Amino acid sequence: MKKKGFSFSDSGPADAGGVFTKIFSAGQWASIKKLITGQGRSTIYWYVESWDRLKRYQKTGVMQFLVTE
């Protein structure tokens, strides 16, 4: 199993009603697709961690999506 970590931050999530959206660049998608080269397709597992201004921590459950070549 290959592992790759990506870190993103949003300094003002309240600006979007508390919703975090991240659109991957072509380079980021290329890095993700390198993980599945030769496999045709693979399930990617991900989760989100967050800290608020008071340093309180939250983590979502693990979610998944399918990436195909």
- pLDDT-derived band at 56 (thresholds 50, 70, 90) equals very high
User: What integer pLDDT is reported at residue 18 of this predicted model?
Assistant: 66
pTM, whole model, 2 decimals?
Answer: 0.55
Q: What is the 3-state secondary structure (H, E, C) of the chain?
A: CCCCCCCCCCCCHHHHCCCCCCCCCHHHHHHHHHCCCCCCEEEEEECCEEECCCCCEEECCCEEEEEEC
Reported as a single tens digit per residue, the pLDDT across 24-49 is 788 888 877 777 776 677 788 888 88
